[in-house]
Chain A
Amino acid sequence: MEVGQMQRQWLDYTRSLFIEGFLDGQFLQLEQLQDDNNPDFVVEVVSLFFQDSHKLLNDLTIALDQKSVDFKKIDAHVHQLKGSSSSIGAQRVKNCCIAFRNFCEEQNTDACLKCLHQVKQECCLVKNKLETLFRLEQQIMAAGGSIPMMELSF
């Protein structure tokens, strides 16, 4: 595949992630922070997010498995995850967290368990999507091309 085609594929894929709600404008903020002095900024931040969320999801699983559920603790973890997902523009993960916190407030264990399952799924989905995106970027760079400037024109 020639570079022009790869770049169009990257643009189409990126646009689809926004249209399907996986990413929001905050992700574009991250892209704008990447430059020659910080060439891997987006990958670094995204990797950090997945390390952080992996730990939070483990902690949440353990916390919801207790005989006596500590909803304050769970809320604190979900608040962290909501903050992190919001900061990188992982919109669907963030929205799951908002619902999750509402059920924490109601102290509804069953609903919280459902939310946990959902948020794990959304983290998995966005991880796969972003890994695909980064792979496309690497292919473009390897072929001597550059990543197109992302325009929010849809």
Chain B
Amino acid sequence: MTSQNLSTQLRALVVDDNILNRKIHERMLNGLGVECMVVANGKEAVDVHFYGQSFDLILMDKDMPIMNGIEATKELRSMGINSLIVGVSSRSMEAEIREFMEAGLNDYHVKPLTTHKLASIIHNINPNYATK
């Protein structure tokens, strides 16, 4: 088990309206040594930031009720949140991806995510982060 310096513990926020995706992505991130919080829509993602939480990585689903991923990403960026925001969606139409990216994403991945994809995302945040 790799021992992590507490000050370099990465924190991620999983934003997805699908209960399975929340469970699976959280488990994948935990398995890579990343601490996780999960919320069910864009508004909850904005609210947790409004109440002072911060994250190294936000996994943002696109299609969600109440506030979708595009709106939430725009809102977070306008609040000055500079965290890595990675859009995740099953949609693959170019126009839709472009709209999502233009909202302020750093990157975009097609669902379903794999541990391998997440490991490469984390590597981009911190190349020295020791994942399993």
Interface segment, one of A10-18, A45-53, A112-120: A45-53
Question: How far in angstroms is the closest Cβ of chain B from A49?
Answer: 6
Give the size category of B's interface with A: 10 to 19
Q: State A86–B16 Cα separation when bound (angstroms).
A: 15
Which of A29, A82, A87, A88 is within 8 Å of B115, CB to CB? A29
Nearest-CB residue, chain B, relative to A89: B112
In the complex, A79 has a CB within 8 A of chain B: yes
Determine if A79 and B27 form an interchain contact, defined as CB atoms under 8 angstroms apart: no
Answer whether residue B28 sits at the interface, using C-beta atoms and an 8 A cutoff.
yes
Q: What is the chain B residue whose CB lies nearest that of A32?
A: B115
Given A33-B115, A86-B112, A49:B31 Cβ within 8 A: no
- With A29-B112, A29-B115, A79-B63 as known contacts, state yes or no: A84 contacts B18, CB within 8 Å: yes
Minimum CB distance partner of A49 in chain B: B20
B16 — nearest CB in chain A belongs to which residue?
Answer: A83
A-B interface pairs (CB < 8 A), number: 50
Known contacts: A33-B31, A80-B18. The answer to whether A45 contacts B23 by CB under 8 A is yes
Is B20 a contact partner of A48 (Cβ separation < 8 A)? Answer: yes
Which one, A26, A44, A80, contacts B112 given CB within 8 A? A26
- One of B17, B18, B24 near A33 (C-beta < 8 A): B24
Contact partners of B17 in chain A: CB under 8 A? 80
Query: B21's contact among A35, A38, A83, by CB below 8 Å, is which?
Result: A83
Q: Contact flags (1/0) for A7-37 with B, using CB distance below 8 Å?
A: 0000000000000000000100110110100
Return chain B residues, CB-CB under 8 Å to A30. Answer: 24
**Interface residue A103 (Cβ < 8 Å from any Cβ of B):** no
- Complex: how many Å from CA A67 to CA B11? 48
Residues of A within 8 A of B (CB): 26, 29-30, 32-33, 35, 38, 41, 44-45, 48-49, 52, 79-80, 82-84, 86-88
